[in-house]
Amino acid sequence: WKDEELKFLGNKIYYYESIGSTNEKAKILAVNGEPHGTLILSEKQTMGKGRIGRKWESPKNEGIWLSMILRPNLSPEEAPKITLVAAVACAKATRKHGINCAIKWPNDILYEGKKLAGILTEISAEIDRINHVIVGVGINVNTKKFSVELESIATSLYLIKKEPVDRKKVLIDFLKEFEYFYSKLEKGEFQDVLKEWKALNCTIGRNVKIIGKTKEIEGIAFDIDELGALLIRKNDGSVERILSGDVSLR
Ligand code: ADP
């Protein structure tokens, strides 16, 4: 189905009926030397991953469960920018289907506060260079009913639009948007990505609580910086810079 307009995404595609996790598969393939832009797609994941060991429910034929292997020409510290590129692409692609969604920093796409899609970026790098970046994307497309645990926090294009949505269309829209914003990143025009991200986000200006492994931080999220870190002004006026790594935002 490879779309003619796509330049590098999907030049090579691994497609599965069922797989443990597309990100795990992508990591193995990346280590084996699979090229930039390789896609791993599955109809179902039996062990879909969220961040920090969390699970991502990926029922058969109901969503887009994919991973991309990327070999960006960026320094390791710049790699988180790719998560912002993916979030913008995901929000833009679903908006094309009439969904008024927003980006919750750093990696979720929400509709009326419920999670419509999630992004999981995993970076393999040395001190001075990136080996590869895996970007996993899960978009709930035609899910009619979520598990009891997710019912109150998750949504799908089907539940919002009240009609089935063509998964292939959403997939191709996402890939095109991703290539567009990724090319901005490559050309040194990340400011344009940031601008879009800011226009689409629902985190900046909010009172947030950041839950890390060892501490919690509360304050107003007032901006993100050029590396995608969230800037928080605490009640005592001091500013904290939060990288997405291992924290949750509430
Ligand atoms: P968080 O957003 O809580 O920081 P993640 O981004 O790692 O966490 O996403 C994993 C979480 O998303 C899970 O713990 C679960 O609450 C929720 N989740 C799992 N599967 C889905 C899904 N298909 N749609 C929406 N939310 C999901």
pLDDT band at 56 (very low <50, low <70, confident <90, very high): very high
Q: If you write DSSP's letter for every residue of 108-158 in order, what string do you get?
A: EEEETTEEEEEEEEEEEE-SS-EEEEEEEEEEE-S-----TTTTTTB--HH
Which pLDDT score, from 0 to 100, does residue 213 have? 84
142 alpha carbon to ligand 1 midpoint, in Å? Answer: 17
Residue at 206: amino acid letter: R
107 lines ligand 1 (CB under 6 A): yes
56 alpha carbon to ligand 1 midpoint, in Å? Answer: 6
Return the residue whose CA atom lies nearest to atom 14 of ligand 1: 54
Q: If you write DSSP's letter for every residue of the chain in order, what string do you get?
A: ---TT-SSTTSSEEEESSBS-HHHHHHHHHHTTPPTT-EEEES-BSS-B-STT-B--B-TTTEEEEEEEE--SS-GGGTTHHHHHHHHHHHHHHHHTT---EEETTTEEEETTEEEEEEEEEEEE-SS-EEEEEEEEEEE-S-----TTTTTTB--HHHHHTS---HHHHHHHHHHHHHHHHHHHHTT-HHHHHHHHHHHBSSTTSEEEEE-SS-EEEEEEEEE-TTS-EEEEETTS-EEEE-STT-EE-
115 lines ligand 1 (CB under 6 A): yes
Domain boundaries, the chain: 13-200, 207-249
150 lines ligand 1 (CB under 6 A): yes
Q: Tens digits of per-residue pLDDT, 141-160? A: 999 999 999 999 999 999 99
Which pLDDT score, from 0 to 100, does residue 70 have? 98
Which pLDDT score, from 0 to 100, does residue 215 have? 86
Which pLDDT score, from 0 to 100, does residue 246 have? 65
pLDDT at 1 over 70: no
Reported ipTM: the value is 0.96
Which pLDDT score, from 0 to 100, does residue 248 have? 78
Percentage of the chain with pLDDT > 90?
Answer: 90
Return the residue whose CA atom lies nearest to atom 4 of ligand 1: 248
Q: Tens digits of per-residue pLDDT, 24-45? A: 999 999 999 999 999 999 999 9
| Ligand 1 atom with minimal separation from the 154 CA | 25
Examine domains 13-200 and 207-249 and report if their fold is the same: no
Which pLDDT score, from 0 to 100, does residue 244 have? 77
Which pLDDT score, from 0 to 100, does residue 249 have? 83
Which pLDDT score, from 0 to 100, does residue 189 have? 96
Q: Tens digits of per-residue pLDDT, 198-249? A: 999 999 999 999 998 888 999 999 999 988 899 999 999 999 999 876 677 8
Q: Tens digits of per-residue pLDDT, 71-106? A: 999 999 999 999 999 999 999 999 999 999 999 998
Of 23, 56, 153, 213, the residue with max ligand 1 atoms within 8 A of its CB, to mutate for a pocket test, comes to: 56
236 alpha carbon to ligand 1 midpoint, in Å? Answer: 32
Which pLDDT score, from 0 to 100, does residue 30 have? 98
104 lines ligand 1 (CB under 6 A): no
Burial class (CB in 10 A: 0-12, 13-18, 19+), 5: exposed
44 alpha carbon to ligand 1 midpoint, in Å? Answer: 16
Report the alpha-carbon distance of residue 177 to residue 192 in Å, rounded.
Answer: 13
39 alpha carbon to ligand 1 midpoint, in Å? Answer: 22
Mean pLDDT of the chain: 95
65 lines ligand 1 (CB under 6 A): no
Classify domain 13-200 by CATH number: 3.30.930.10
Which pLDDT score, from 0 to 100, does residue 95 have? 97
What is the mean predicted confidence (pLDDT) over 52-59?
Answer: 93
Which pLDDT score, from 0 to 100, does residue 60 have? 97
Classify domain 207-249 by CATH number: 2.30.30.100
57 lines ligand 1 (CB under 6 A): yes
User: What backbone torsions phi and psi does residue 10 show, to the nearest 5 degrees?
Assistant: 85, 10
